[in-house]
């Protein structure tokens, strides 16, 4: 077991080294360095893959009784050790099915794809990105075929992010959720719209940066173990056990983009920094997220259930307004609260309100499934995107930069990830209710400016477990029930009845 952890840790080291290069590429790297950076990342990806597929790992797993049919191994081992074997068996079986050459080839193509996406997005030039996206789709099909040639490609990819996830299973959750969201939107449309004009006042980037620093501090994001930089698309990346970095985006005519982007990414970072079920399992695959949806639950919980709450801003709006003077001069707490929770169909997913956000996710879920199946050609993506935006949200992007080029995920080859965002909303609301059921009301903690108490509960119940439990198991262990969208819809209905007065 110790030897297995050592080999796993060596692969993690390589992954973290690669993360340093990836972070640098997205923040400070000079543009002309992209070609060699692709070679560097491809080399490291290949090296990590070789580590993950060493025959010795298979031998160690077998010696510990772990097989495809019995991944947890010998029943005399501790529950934590058995959980670790389950994860290592899954990772090893998946890794050994994908050739190292394919991993390296995709890593280099991904590096070039991300750079092409950033350039295409800034220049509103989808045709320039199209060949790179086609490669990402093709690579994902090849990987899905390696992992399970008999499976539906999109199902195979979904399972990589949410173990056990399938297109049919997720659609079964999303379809009724979409119907409930539409009902809520209809109720909101019947009420006078909220005025949020002041959110669009000019706000210098330097002032927003000060506000971001303030927000990170009150959320207890440890800057001895992380930092904030700016990028085209906000992200969180783990460069080491005590090095988890975040980025945000500053839009000078809409400062909430950086405010809630910073809170969102801080939520991811808090989860990463809190992982680790035991010292011996730090820097191993057990100190990973239960799933990407659980990861998103942490960012969405902090961004929305805390960061967009009335209690939060009662404690912090005065100081916040001082930093952004004169942007919020004359704005009352009630006006500000209603404005940051305004429900209105929007073009950009990361800036969408809580009610319409999941519709953005469902749109991407459907489109990437069609791309993988071949029912949608890459060249036709802009048109399909615009048609779906009209059908779901009643608006059409004026250009591709605000349409199908807005997200970084597909340029990274992360097909199958998007459902995690909406599923994360559901997990987050269910965890929130579990706190109340266990005698600790997080809303009261927010009103009392005791955010540390919420973090402490999450660390004890969600973060520290890492990947010991599958996502569904974690939900049942923490909340006593399987994932249930009713918690999220109850939260939305109660909140927006107050915002819109119905």
The pLDDT score that the predictor gives to residue 136 is: 98
Q: Sorting pLDDT into bands at 50, 70 and 90, what band is 393?
A: confident
Q: Is the pLDDT of residue 194 over 90?
A: yes
Q: In what order do the strands lie in the sheet with 243-248?
A: 228-230, 243-248, 236-240
The pLDDT score that the predictor gives to residue 21 is: 97
Sign of CA dihedral 407, 410, 411, 412: positive
The pLDDT score that the predictor gives to residue 178 is: 87
The pLDDT score that the predictor gives to residue 206 is: 97
Catalytic hit among 45, 265, 296, 366: 265
Q: Is the pLDDT of residue 20 over 90?
A: yes
To the question of domain 167-500 being in CATH 1.10.1470.10, the answer is no
**Long-range contact pairs involving 58-62 (C-beta distance under 8 Å, separation at least 24):** 58/92, 58/96, 60/3, 60/4, 60/7, 61/4, 61/85, 61/88, 61/89, 61/92
Give the mean model confidence (pLDDT) for residues 4-26: 96
For 27-46, write each residue's pLDDT tens digit.
Answer: 999 999 999 998 999 899 88
Q: Is 265 a catalytic residue?
A: yes
The residues of the chain that CATH labels 1.10.1370.30 are 167-500
Cα separation, 445 vs 452, whole angstroms: 9
For residue 501, give the 3-state DSSP assignment: coil
Give the mean model confidence (pLDDT) for residues 433-439: 97
Residues in the chain: 502
Cα separation, 230 vs 239, whole angstroms: 17
Q: What angle do CA 99, 104, 107 make, to 5 degrees?
A: 125
Q: Is the pLDDT of residue 276 over 90?
A: no
Average pLDDT taken over every residue of the chain:
95
The pLDDT score that the predictor gives to residue 351 is: 79
Q: Which residues, at least 6 apart from 276, have a Cβ–Cβ distance to it below 8 Å?
A: 241, 282, 287, 464, 466
For 150-190, write each residue's pLDDT tens digit.
Answer: 999 999 999 999 988 899 989 988 988 988 998 998 899 89
Sign of CA dihedral 92, 98, 102, 107: negative
The pLDDT score that the predictor gives to residue 350 is: 80
The pLDDT score that the predictor gives to residue 60 is: 98
Q: Is the pLDDT of residue 242 over 90?
A: yes
The pLDDT score that the predictor gives to residue 232 is: 84
Nearest to 25 by CA among 16, 14, 36: 36
Nearest to 239 by CA among 15, 52, 45: 15
């Amino acid at each position: 077991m110790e030897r297995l952890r050592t080999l796993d840790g060596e692969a993690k080291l390589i992954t973290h080294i690669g993360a340093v290069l990836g972070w640098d590429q997205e923040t400070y790297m000079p543009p002309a360095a992209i070609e060699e950076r692709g070679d560097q990342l491809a080399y490291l990806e290949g090296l990590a893959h070789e580590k993950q597929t060493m025959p010795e790992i298979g031998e160690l797993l077998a010696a510990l009784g772990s097989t495809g049919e019995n991944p947890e191994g010998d029943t005399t081992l501790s529950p934590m050790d058995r959980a670790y074997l389950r994860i290592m068996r899954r990772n090893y079986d998946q890794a050994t099915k994908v050739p190292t050459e394919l991993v390296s080839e995709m890593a280099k193509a991904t590096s070039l794809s991300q750079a092409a996406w950033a350039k295409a997005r800034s220049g509103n030039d989808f045709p320039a990105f199209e060949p790179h996206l086609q490669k990402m789709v093709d690579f994902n099909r090849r990987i899905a075929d390696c992992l399970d040639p008999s499976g539906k490609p999109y199902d195979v990819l979904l399972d990589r992010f949410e173990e056990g996830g399938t297109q049919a299973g997720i659609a079964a959750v999303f379809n009724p959720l979409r119907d409930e969201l539409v009902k809520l939107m209809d109720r909101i449309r019947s009420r006078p719209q909220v005025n949020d004009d002041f959110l669009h006042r000019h706000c210098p980037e330097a002032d927003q940066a000060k506000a971001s620093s303030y927000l990170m501090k009150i959320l207890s994001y440890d800057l001895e173990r992380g930092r904030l930089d700016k990028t085209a698309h906000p992200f969180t990346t783990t460069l080491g056990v005590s090095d988890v970095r975040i980025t945000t985006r500053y839009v000078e005519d809409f400062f909430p983009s950086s405010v809630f982007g910073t809170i969102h990414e801080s939520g991811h970072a808090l989860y990463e920094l809190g992982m680790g079920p035991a010292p011996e399992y730090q820097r191993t695959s057990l100190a990973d997220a239960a799933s990407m949806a659980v990861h998103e639950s942490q960012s969405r919980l902090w961004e929305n259930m805390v960061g967009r709450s009335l209690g939060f801003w009662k404690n912090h709006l005065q100081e916040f307004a001082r930093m952004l003077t004169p942007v919020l001069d004359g704005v009352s707490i009630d006006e500000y609260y209603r404005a940051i929770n305004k429900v209105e169909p929007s073009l950009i997913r990361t800036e969408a309100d809580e009610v319409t956000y999941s519709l953005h996710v469902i749109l991407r879920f459907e489109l990437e499934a069609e791309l993988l199946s071949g029912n949608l050609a890459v060249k036709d993506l802009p048109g399909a995107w615009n048609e779906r935006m009209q059908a779901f949200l009643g608006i059409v992007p004026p250009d591709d930069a605000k349409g199908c080029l807005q997200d970084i995920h597909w340029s990274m080859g992360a097909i199958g990830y998007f459902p995690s965002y909406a599923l994360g909303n559901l997990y987050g609301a269910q965890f929130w209710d579990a706190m109340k059921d266990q005698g600790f009301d997080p809303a009261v903690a927010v009103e009392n400016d005791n955010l540390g108490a919420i973090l402490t509960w999450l660390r004890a119940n969600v973060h520290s477990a890492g990947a010991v439990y599958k996502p569904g198991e974690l939900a049942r262990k923490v909340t006593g029930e399987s994932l249930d969208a009713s918690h999220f819809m109850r939260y939305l209905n109660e909140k927006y009845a107050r915002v819109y007065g119905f």
